[in-house]
Amino acid sequence: MSKDTYDAIVVGAGHNGLTAASYMAKAGLKVLVLEKNEYIGGAAVSRELYPGWKYSNCSYVCSLLRPEIMRDLELYKYGLQIIPYEGSATMMKNGDYYANYHDHDMTVKAISRHSVHDAEAYDRYSRDVMRQCKIIKPLLKMTPPDLTSFKPKDIFGALEFAKYFAAKDELGGLGEKEIYDTIRFYTMSIRDYLEEYFESDIVKAHLSGSAIIGTALGPCSPGSAYVLLHHYMGEVDGAIGSWGYARGGMGSITQAMSECFKSHGGVIQASSEVTNVIVKNGRAIGVATKSGDEFYAKKIVSNLDVKRTFLKITNESDLEPEFVKRVKNFKIRGSSGKLNIALEGLPTFPSIPKDDPGGGGDMHFTETIEEMEGAYDDWKRGKWSEFPYVDMCIPSKSDPTMAAPGKHFMSVFIQYVPFDLADGGWNEKKKQEFGKHIINRISEYSPDFKDLIAHYEIRTPKDIHDEVGLTEGNIFQGELTMDQLMFNRPITGYAQYRAPIKDLYMCSSSTHPGGGVMGAPGANAAREILNDMNIKQKGNYY
Amino acid sequence: MSKIYDVIIIGGGHNALVCANILSKKNKKVLICEARDECGGLLTNQLTNFIPGLHKNVTSSIDAISTNLRSIKSIALSETGQHLKLSGNKNEDQKTLEGFSAEDADNFLALEKKLSLFSKTLGAFMQSSPPRIMTNSFSDNFKIFKLGLNVRLFGKKNFNEFARMIGLNVADELEDNFKNPLLQGLIAHDSITGSNLGPRSPGTLINLLYRMATYDNSIFGGIKQNEGGVISIIKALENNIIKRGVEIRKSTAVKKCIIKNDRVEGVELDNGELIEAKTVISSADPKSTYFCLLGTEHLDTDFKRKVKHYRAKGRVAKLSLKLKKIPEFKGLDQSDLSQRLVVAPSIDYIEENFNFSKFENLSKDPILEISIPSIYDNSLCDEDMHVMNVQIQYAPYDVRGGWENKSAECINSVLSTIEKYAPDIKACVERQEFISPNDIEKDFNVSGGHWHHGEIQIDQLFMLRPIPGAAQYKTPLHGFYMCGAGTHPGGGMTGIPGKNAANTVLKDL
Amino acid sequence: MNKDLREEALKLTPFHSRTSLACRTNTWYRWAGYTVVAEYSTTELEYTATRNGTSVMDLTPMYKYDIKGERAKQFMNYLVTRDLSKMKDNTVAYVIWCNEDGKVVDDGTVFCMNQNEFKLCCAVRMLTWLKDSAEGFEVDIKEVTDETAALSVQGPTSCSTLKNYGASDVETLKPFEMKKYSIDGYEVLVSRTGFTGDLGYELWTDPKNAEAMWDSLMEAGKHLKIRPMGMYGLEMVRIEAGFIQTGTDFVSSEHALRPVRMRSPYEIGMGWLVHLNKEDYFVGKRTLIKEKENSTTERVLVGLDIDGDKPAHGAVVYNKKKEDIGIVTAAIWSPTLKRNIAIASLKRPYGVKIKEDIFVEIYHPEELEYRKIWATCKVVKRQFYTPERRNAVPAEVY
């Protein structure tokens, strides 16, 4: 039985765990990271599941990762390079297509092919969404205040939080009107929101995709407009809303983080599943692993989602029943699946002209919001969507390291796949059926696609739940709805990264500001821990 | 041009009548122009099944009216005949629910207690004009401060709950608390009635709170029916204001407002007659008010955009049946039949209906709220006959195929659904009248045919209702006000918009 | 089919075959989704053509809209701040329009074809604004940018050039008047308008006539010192004339991300276009009346006459206490005036009540290093250059 003691132990080597660990190690703490899988990275991994191909088999594109974190952790030094991509496209059954480009003029021109009105409305739409991105950006870095507390620190925190909506900020002060707009944006459905700007189905369908990825909301559900923001607020070098690939797959993000962590003396131990948080006298003092090892530390930080943290590795007896009930009622619904495909060549998509930059990024084939909502209805009924919203991309088009020259890796994200099927759970046969269905759907838009497949991996929410450890396979580690955002995330009253047990912290995407490969929850949690230890911090993030 | 009125109110709905009453008490000379041949607007015996009764703050500010209100139970119908009957009385309901599940009963009481705390705060907020934010006006800031303080005074636990619930969907909360699908279905039904949301849509919990704020701050209490129907309340309101010297001109449609120098100076009637008044109040819905009565040439572009995108498409239809005899409902006795019968047996049933309506389709298994008022009140029908009013939730305004073709189908599925609970219904029907949202639009001049004059969703509530920046019963034009259900706090028979509007007008005068 | 669908980044104007041939520097400029010539050979020579002979500029990318209907005039009068109720057929008016907060959306020119038919020409995409504004007016609004080829023909010999070209009585056109001509079998609309502050005209025709029109004009101006001018030259002449440009001197309120960047007409020297006593309502009127009544105007757009000869591009403006009081939005060394001029947006009362002791801080590039120049400047009228020939009727003929 090992009796090593550390300053901090982080449970789970996902990107938020590694971010928190790196910040702590950089501040001089002795930190141990424990990971249940034999590989690290959580949902940001590059894995060679088929010889010669690297798979970003969970998360697949990068934009939300805060640049301040990349800078503080010097991730470039450890090999991280983000490759922006040029556009995105939705293919249509009639052989036409719709595309958005990096270049504004091209986008406007492309829209005007479908609707001149919408092309003009796009300017106003971009401005309004951009305004929301600017409003939320500073909030990402903040610890949500406890609104019920009368401590000066929390009252100031609340004021600070409110300040960004009211006083002088990056936008030079918001007026009454902008605040009303913000309230509306946070509470509306993406359908209602887009209908205030656009008339063309294809334009609305293309733009609303970002509002449903990963959530258990449909485009008609109020609150889905905010989810759109969650995909827009990222940036690649100041270009807000643009996306890119991590060179070498998403794993290179967590690899770079772990190298940074190690270079500051951190220790990572893989294949060590934490089974229990050891609590003594109301304080978390260590963790026990499956193999029977025990590790002790001053601070225990869980990068597991809030359900796993409190229902699985914490003894219920150490928690208030009311809190346990809240955790049990935390909404974390798997709604997405994935297909990861090794291709012998580049499939052609006849509806997108060859070399059109629109085909360089994500590709879709959902033509109307109704179709998307219908896909959601299937999910609600406990079935995978017959006409799902898919987000396909081929990172190897821009990234030479994913596959051998001429070979390609394709990532297909599928929105709406339930964690549990109404007809009695997932099994291998149903999983294969699901995979085949998606491949057939894609083949309708790419005749040579099937013949190029060398290998593919099907990931249902169940698989993600089991292997990666995201409860129910929810990619955000908890729904992004108003009842679980900001000071409500993960549990109202516990939004300051501290668990109800002393010295136990949370740093996963279950905490503010939520999911996506953003790193902000990890960095925010590290800040709170270091504050509690009275350790001075430097860096661009703070 | 005559010049004898202080205030002209366009439309004679109950909010207009309440508004007129308060104004006339302050010796204002008021004229009401009602386009139809009777007052009451959407409150008619056919359209309105149950009411909460005018809010006590409203009845205390107007002349007393005599009503004959009877409390109504809610019965969630089950095909098995194991119906769930809830009265709003805590002890009774607890016993009833215990019959299904003791845990449900406990949770119900706890939930109702929590929700009623919130709905009381919300109710208080409804009682006055919503504050504007960022205006540096003392009274606005004070209102916000007071609301904030009230919310903080909930205590830590309840405050956290409130913060969580603002954006919550009702299905999650119900599933977390209850096992009985009938109970879930019934509460979910009351959270979505009249709206374009399903029980799984975020924001539906606030709809429930909203409803509770007008229904005695309880989930099933406060539901009432008036002897003689709502019309008799309207008549009483009318009589009161006539006594006060208010003039009501029926069958008098207003064509548009007269505007000079950015100031409303009166109205022009359809027949060309001009009537002058310094103040004009519209009780019509926001779209009709701004686009028809006021005229778009007096509004700014941004404002017109907001009016245009104000969501007000009705989702409720009504089937009014004249019955030869009362059908036999399995598991219900005579006294049950005069209660509120709801066909919404589970959350999934409702959500599935919503799925159809999202795409402007009709469900074959609709959600119904049934009332047979004639059992209790024989003034409503010829002797030996009965009236059954069925409210159909999720009957989309823009139904695919158009209502002229779809109403027969809708009637058929309504009757087939009732048949499951009352097998002899079809044989009992003597005559039927169907009112679609389109009919409501046409017959009652409500653009979109929405019962609440516009969706009740957070982005159309409080200081955002109806139009952000013009939510305080005022409009961009001097002397022109609004007092209908399209203003804060919204629809339903409460009279609060009318009362608040009257107070705003009096302050300005 | 797919090849044809492929999105090229930028559109080509109907004059492209001619402008690309004439453009010897291959220097292009992105303008409203089109590519146009920035510099044909030497900007100074192109500029001089406007002040000495005739310059020809491709104006096609300007956004153009047709507004038709029985209430078209009423709508135009509601849209813009200027009183157009007395606007006559075949005249043009310079206008601005605002949003509900009285902040300028854009400026442009309105062409009255007849009382039920107007054209609007402006710099910012305006279709949704026009359509949303037209709610309730029952007018027909159509974008005709791609369907109209436009050239600006400006300079002292421009009238003679056009006469040679075939517009026989063009010298009788008064400023802001227009007339249709039939030339070589096609129709050309000639308006006496421009963005150069000089005598000049703008020509509007169907794109299919564009190349013929260009060729004939060049032939007509052969002995009148005609020369095509690119965007860089235009920037020089428009600053001399004191014309403002949306996106440069102010941000359209429809585009501004930061509410504080929006400008009222009084803040950009366009107060003269706001007719608050106009009988009908116009968009923003209520707020503008309040602004005027409460004197809440915060900024002012002025002309600066700066010491020295180093242009003050993007310079910050200071008062004597070295307090930042504004910014230069456009600046050049004026070759005609031999003055160092700039347009600047200042915080009031600077530029209005306080015109003394104002400085600009110029960073002048000198062989890879910047020299910091602290230059005094005078607040002057923004219209730096106003030659008499600009408004003379009949126009000067050579």
- Determine the 3-state secondary structure of A16 from DSSP: helix
Q: For residues C210-242, b (16+ Cβ closer than 10 Å) or e, as one string? A: beebbebbbebbeebbbbbbbbbbbbbbbbbbb
Nearest to A4 by CA among A42, A38, A30, A23: A30
- C33 in contact with chain A, both atoms CB, cutoff 8 A: yes
Mutate to test the interface with B, among C101, C135, C252 (most CBs of B within 10 A): C135
Q: Chains with 3 or more CB pairs closer than 8 angstroms to A?
A: B, C
pLDDT in tens, A261-299: 999 999 999 999 999 999 999 999 999 999 999 999 999
Contact C89, C74 (CB under 8 A): no
- Residue A486 domain-assigned (yes or no): no
Return the amino acid letter for C76.
Answer: M
Q: Is the pLDDT of residue A168 over 50?
A: no
The pair of structure tokens assigned to A177 is 């009107």
Among C64, C257, C298, pick the best mutation site for testing chain A contact (most A Cβ within 10 A). Answer: C257
Do A449 and A350 fall within a single domain?
yes
Q: Which residues of chain A lie closer than 8 angstroms to B202, CB-CB?
A: 217, 221-223, 481-483
The pLDDT assigned to B382 comes to 79
Same domain for A264 and A219? no
Residues of B in contact with A331 (CB under 8 A): 172
Percent over 70 (pLDDT), chain C = 98
To the nearest whole Å, the CA of B355 is away from the closest chain A CA by 7
C102–B contact, CB cutoff 8 A: no
Q: Is A220 on the interface with B (CB under 8 A)?
A: yes
pLDDT at C3 exceeding the cut of 50: no
User: In Å, what is the CA distance from A337 to each residue of A371, A474, B223?
Assistant: 18, 10, 46
Subunits in contact with chain B (3 or more CB pairs closer than 8 Å): A, C
**Closest-CA distance of chain A to residue C295, Å:** 19
Tell whether A220 and A350 lie within a shared domain.
Answer: no
Residue B376 in contact with partner chain C when CB distance is under 8 A: no
A204 shares a domain with A271: no
Is C299's pLDDT higher than 50?
yes
Question: What are C350-377's pLDDT values in tens digits?
Answer: 999 999 999 999 999 999 999 999 999 9
Q: How far is CA C144 from CA A114, C69, C148, C254, C379, in A?
A: 17, 16, 6, 21, 40
Contacts of C31 (CB under 8 A, 6+ apart): C61, C231
The ipTM, to two decimals, is 0.90
The last residue of a domain, from among A178, A196, A227: A227
A224-263 pLDDT tens trace = 998 888 888 776 666 666 788 999 999 999 999 999 999 9
- Please report residues of C whose CB lies closer than 8 A to that of B258: none
List the pLDDT tens digit at each of the 509 positions of chain B: 455 899 999 999 999 999 999 999 999 999 999 999 999 999 998 899 999 988 889 999 999 998 899 999 999 999 999 999 999 999 999 999 999 999 999 999 999 999 999 999 888 888 888 888 766 677 777 777 777 777 777 778 888 888 888 889 999 999 999 999 999 999 999 999 989 999 999 999 999 999 999 999 999 999 999 988 999 999 999 999 999 999 999 999 999 999 998 899 999 999 999 999 999 999 999 999 999 999 999 999 999 999 999 999 999 999 999 999 999 999 999 889 999 999 999 999 999 999 999 999 999 999 999 999 998 888 888 778 999 999 999 999 999 999 999 999 999 999 999 999 999 999 999 999 999 999 999 999 999 999 999 998 888 988 899 998 888 999 999 999 999 999 999 888 899 999 999 999 999 98
Contact A217 B202 (CB under 8 A): yes
Which residue, B374, B64, B444, is CA-closest to B229? Answer: B374
User: Nearest CA of chain B to the CA of A148: how many Å?
Assistant: 5
Size of interface A-C (CB pairs under 8 A): 73
Please indicate, yes or no, whether residues A342 and A444 belong to a single structural domain of this protein: yes
The backbone region for B229, taken as left when phi is positive above 0, alpha when psi lies in -120 to 50, beta otherwise, is left
Alpha carbon B71 to chain centroid, angstroms: 18
HEC-encoded secondary structure of C165-231: HCCCCHHHCCCCEEEEEEECCEEEEEECCCCCCCCEEEEEECHHHHHHHHHHHHHHCCCCCEEECCH
Closest by Cβ to A177, choosing from B157, B202, B469: B469
3-state secondary structure of C319: coil
**CATH number, domain with residue A301:** 3.50.50.60
What is the layout of strands, in order, in the sheet containing B429-435? B84-86, B74-76, B340-343, B367-371, B386-393, B316-323, B429-435
Whether residues A291 and A341 share a domain: the answer is: no
Q: Rg of chain B over CA atoms, in angstroms?
A: 22
Task: Let me know the angle formed at the C-alpha of C17 by C13 and C18, rounded to the nearest 5 degrees.
Answer: 100
CB contact under 8 A, C7 and A109: yes
Answer yes or no: is A187 within a domain.
Answer: yes
Instruction: Give yes or no: residues A420 and A363 share one domain.
Output: yes
Task: Name residue A132's amino acid.
Answer: Q
In a domain, A275, yes or no: yes
Contacts of C35 in chain A (CB under 8 A): none
Interchain pair C33, A95: CB under 8 A? no
In this prediction the pTM is 0.93
Q: What is the CATH number of the domain that holds A457?
A: 3.90.660
DSSP-based three-state secondary structure for C388: helix
Residues A146, A77 share a domain: no
CB atoms within 10 A of CB C172: 13
Residue A336 belongs to some domain of the structure: yes
B147 or A173: which leads in pLDDT: B147
From the list A187, A373, A380, which residue is nearest B167 (CB)? Answer: A187
Q: Please indicate whether, in this complex, the C-beta atoms of C33 and A108 are within 8 angstroms of each other.
A: yes
Among candidate residues C163, C145, C127, C160, the one with its CA nearest the CA of residue C14: C145
**Which of A478-487, C81-90, C348-357 is the least confident region?**
A478-487
Whether chain C has a CB inside 8 Å of the CB on A350: the answer is yes
Task: Examine the domain organization and report whether A207 and A300 are in the same domain.
Answer: no
Domains of chain C: 2-60+148-229 (3.30.1360.120), 259-380 (2.40.30.110)
Q: Which residue in C78, C127, C260 has the most chain B C-beta atoms within 10 A of its own C-beta, making it the best mutation to test that interface?
A: C78
Are residues A76 and A154 both part of a single domain?
no
| Contact status of C143 with chain A (Cβ, < 8 Å) | yes
Residues A454 and A513 in one domain: no
pLDDT of C6 higher than 60: no
Taking CB atoms and an 8 Å limit, are C257 and A127 in contact across chains? yes
Structural domain includes residue A419: yes
Q: Which two tokens stand for residue A43?
A: 């949902």
Domain ranges of chain B: 2-68+229-310+455-508, 88-221, 315-396+400-435
- Radius of gyration (Cα) for chain A, nearest Å? 23
Using one digit for the tens of pLDDT, what is the confidence trace for A145-161?
887 776 776 666 666 66
Which sign, positive or negative, has the C-alpha torsion C328, C334, C337, C339? positive
Q: What is the mean pLDDT of chain C?
A: 95
Q: Does A485 reside within a domain?
A: no
B296 touches C at CB < 8 Å: yes
Q: By residue range, what is the domain housing residue A260? A: 5-82+248-330+492-532
Q: A172, C3: Cβ pair inside 8 Å?
A: no
Residue A467 forms part of a structural domain: yes
Q: What is the pLDDT of residue C5?
A: 47
Task: Give domain status of residue A477, yes or no.
Answer: no
Q: What is the CA radius of gyration of chain C?
A: 21
3-class DSSP state of B6: strand
Task: Please check whether residue B295 touches C, CB under 8 A.
Answer: yes
Is residue C341 within 8 A of residue C384, CB to CB? The reply is: yes
Q: Which CATH class is domain B2-68+229-310+455-508?
A: alpha beta
Interface membership of B135 toward C (CB under 8 Å): no
pLDDT of residue A236: 63
Contact state of C128 with A351 under an 8 Å Cβ cutoff: no
B433/B422 Cα distance (integer angstroms): 19
Dihedral-angle region of residue B394 (phi above 0 means left; psi in -120 to 50 means alpha; beta otherwise): left
Domain count within chain A: 3
